[in-house]
């Protein structure tokens, strides 16, 4: 016991000393704090950007599934959908990745992509498997977190390479957003959007692809090629259409009359008129005004022709300000503007049917048209149209004489004048003498046949059929020609030797009448017996028009050299 006790007393007592430094056990909480702080920082830094997009409806949009895709890359997903307070729209909250921050600006545009089938083709086909998605067009301006979605894809931006122009039209017709713009049958661009301006005109924004932009000049003309254009006449039919897509959903084409080195290229912002069809575009030129008594047979597509060639078209027809006639606005192609001068005469050509035959028969199918006879004065833009075709379509350089008759009978303008049943002239007009005692008939004898008319020539009416019936001499029928039976006409004869016979009617003895109907020997009137076969008649000479010829006139055979 003593030894044990002695051993216990020899064991020293433990000495308690304070420990210096940090215990290793605290390393774990510190590490955990650092990790938590990093995660908080990372979650803040990498947090998505929440944006609200307002749609008209939520069709095709699903929470947590519908994505926002830009250039084929997902950059956001729909987080929630709520109905707006006014119940007129859907607020879609989208969470974007942080990299999209710089693109979410005031002018950024969003729209829904869904499968669409149209004449342009099938678009959004990938959504059939993956579902509808939202896409965007980055914009500029300050950062924004609230947007309104578009119902249709936006037009191509004005800073995109290519040409951005506008077309001005009275109406949109069958054109639509996405309708093609064609050049020589090749699609060169498309219609972006349209709106109304302050004047009520339709303004159509058009984008022309960069590789075709140089084809559009300041002088280019745009025209509608929607549907099918059909024109027909006796000579054939014409059907025009630009392309199948234009036939279904409308389209626009353009042409450039002047594509030489002097033609200036169009620039962004240029405006062009949109014509209804190619014909009007080709004929665009100088505008003129034609004043008609009425608008019968005239429409907004009536052609203006000269020598059978179309040189313009009627653009508009309306009553004049006094409502006493019709005012026609037409366009004449620039290359034919030299025809528009003082003295130029316009008139309407219509089909004519008569016993002698038919005229202007092609107008039955192709429609009436306006033609003209050029003048030689100063340039003019307003013309008083004739109510009927003038008596002569070409300037006459022949012999102009006057025939005096007690009655006009069936004689009318354009009736032929015969010598030995050969047509040598025409009636150019008819009127009364100043004292109204006789009818005056203007006649133009063609220049080569002018020597046939002498001061002692005799003229008579050959219209219809002359029948002379006697008790003992039987019946005698006299006519000049079948044409004279149907149309009427005048014939004349010139004596070849001095005439000894005396005329017994009041217009006899070769005495000519002045316009009042009185006798006048000073105006070329001489006796037929003076100098056979008489002197050559001069312009303005007057002759008596007899109802029928005497037998001896038909036997005259003068030798007269023509063209001298």
- List the beta bridge partners of residue 163: 208
- Among 95, 63, 96, 97, which residue's Cα sits nearest to residue 80? 63
pLDDT in tens, 381-394: 899 998 877 755 55
CA distance 153 to 147: 15
Question: For position 352, what pLDDT does the model report?
Answer: 67
pLDDT at 482: 52
pLDDT at 500: 37
pTM to 2 decimal places: 0.48
Q: Hey, is 31 helix, strand or coil?
A: helix
Tell me which DSSP letter residue 379 carries.
Answer: B
Residue 473 has pLDDT above 50, yes or no: yes
Mean per-residue pLDDT for 251-274? 83
Q: Could you report the per-residue pLDDT of 505-519, keeping only the tens digit for each?
A: 444 443 444 444 444
Could you tell me the two tokens for 151? 């119902």
Q: Give the residue with greater pLDDT, 497 vs 1.
A: 497
Which pLDDT does position 498 carry in this prediction? 58
Task: Read off the pLDDT of each residue in 290-319 and give the average, rounded to a whole number.
Answer: 88
Higher pLDDT, residue 206 or 506:
206
Worst-scoring range by mean pLDDT, 29-43, 372-386, 433-447? 29-43
Averaged pLDDT score across all residues of the chain: 78
Rounded Cα–Cα distance for residues 373 and 311 (Å): 13
The alpha carbon of residue 166 and the mean position of all alpha carbons in its chain are separated, in whole angstroms, by: 18
Instruction: Give the list of residues 6+ apart from residue 250 with CB closer than 8 angstroms, or none.
Output: 173, 174, 175, 176, 179, 224, 226, 227
Place of tokens 């895709």: 69
To the nearest whole percent, how much of the chain has pLDDT over 70? 71
Tokens 């450039």 locate to 256
Q: Average pLDDT of 243-263?
A: 68
Contact of 229 with 212, CB cutoff 8 Å = no
Radius of gyration of the chain (CA): 48
pLDDT at residue 524 in the model: 39
Q: How far from 113 is each of 10, 176, 183, 467, 551, CA to CA, in Å?
A: 95, 19, 30, 93, 99
Evaluate if residue 529 carries a pLDDT over 50.
no
Residue 365 DSSP one-character state: H
pLDDT at 379: 87
Report H helices in 106-189: 127-130
- Return the minimum-mean-pLDDT range out of 350-364, 395-409, 433-447: 350-364
Q: Please give the pLDDT value at position 258.
A: 67
pLDDT value of residue 335:
81
Work out the pLDDT band at 128, boundaries 50, 70, 90. Answer: low
Task: Render pLDDT for 136-194 as a digit per residue (tens, 0 to 9).
Answer: 888 888 989 999 998 878 877 766 788 999 999 988 887 888 888 999 888 899 888 88
**pLDDT computed for residue 117 by the predictor:** 54
Per-residue pLDDT at 126? 55
With CA atoms as reference, report the closest residue to 456 among 535, 523, 564, 520: 535
């Amino acid at each position: 016991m003593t030894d044990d006790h002695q051993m216990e007393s020899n064991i020293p007592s433990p000495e308690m000393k304070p420990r210096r430094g940090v215990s290793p056990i605290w390393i774990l909480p510190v590490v955990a704090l650092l990790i938590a702080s990093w995660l908080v920082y990372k979650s803040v830094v990498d947090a998505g950007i929440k944006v609200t997009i307002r749609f008209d409806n939520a069709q095709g949009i699903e929470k947590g599934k519908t994505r926002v895709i830009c250039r084929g890359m997902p950059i956001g997903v729909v987080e929630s959908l709520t109905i707006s307070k006014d119940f007129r729209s859907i607020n879609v909250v989208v969470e974007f990745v942080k990299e999209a921050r710089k693109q979410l600006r005031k002018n950024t545009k969003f729209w829904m992509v869904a499968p669409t089938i149209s004449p342009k083709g099938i678009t959004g086909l990938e959504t059939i498997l993956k579902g509808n998605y939202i896409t965007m067009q980055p914009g500029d301006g300050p950062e924004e977190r609230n947007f309104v979605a578009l119902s249709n894809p936006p037009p191509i931006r004005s800073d995109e390479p290519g040409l951005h122009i506008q077309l001005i039209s009275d109406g949109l017709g069958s054109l639509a957003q996405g309708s093609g713009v064609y050049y020589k049958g090749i699609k060169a661009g498309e219609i972006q959007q349209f709106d109304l301006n302050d004047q009520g005109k339709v303004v159509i924004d058009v984008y022309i692809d960069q590789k075709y932009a140089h084809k559009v000049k300041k002088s280019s003309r745009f025209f509608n090629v929607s549907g099918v254009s059909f024109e027909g006449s006796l000579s054939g039919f014409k059907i025009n259409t630009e392309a199948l897509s234009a036939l279904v959903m409308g389209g626009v084409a353009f042409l450039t009359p002047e594509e030489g080195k002097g033609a200036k290229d169009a620039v962004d912002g240029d405006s062009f008129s949109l014509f209804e069809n190619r014909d009007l575009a080709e004929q665009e030129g100088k505008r003129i005004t034609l004043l008609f008594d009425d608008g019968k047979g005239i429409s907004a597509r009536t052609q203006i022709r000269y020598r059978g060639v179309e040189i313009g078209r009627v653009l508009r027809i309306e009553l004049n300000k006094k409502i006493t006639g019709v005012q026609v606005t037409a366009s004449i192609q620039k290359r034919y503007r030299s025809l528009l001068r003082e003295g130029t005469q316009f008139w309407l050509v219509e089909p004519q049917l008569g016993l002698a035959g038919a005229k202007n028969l092609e107008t039955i199918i192709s429609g009436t048209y306006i033609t003209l006879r050029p003048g030689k004065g100063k340039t003019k833009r307003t013309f008083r149209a004739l109510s009927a075709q003038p008596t002569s379509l070409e300037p006459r350089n022949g012999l102009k004489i006057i025939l005096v008759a007690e009655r006009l009978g069936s004689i009318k303008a354009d009736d032929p004048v015969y010598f030995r049943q050969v047509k040598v002239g025409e009636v150019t007009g008819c009127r009364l003498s100043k004292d109204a005692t006789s009818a005056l008939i203007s006649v133009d004898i063609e220049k080569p046949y002018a020597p046939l008319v002498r001061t002692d020539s005799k003229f008579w009416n050959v219209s219809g059929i002359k029948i002379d019936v006697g008790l003992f001499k039987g019946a005698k029928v006299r006519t000049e020609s079948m044409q004279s039976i149907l149309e009427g006409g005048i014939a004349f004869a010139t004596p070849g030797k001095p005439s000894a016979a005396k005329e017994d009617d009041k217009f006899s003895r070769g005495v000519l009448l002045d316009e009042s109907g009185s006798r006048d020997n000073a105006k070329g009137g001489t006796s037929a017996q003076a100098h056979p076969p008489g002197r050559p008649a001069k312009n303005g000479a007057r002759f008596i028009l007899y109802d029928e010829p005497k037998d001896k006139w038909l036997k005259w055979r003068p030798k007269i050299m023509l063209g001298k």
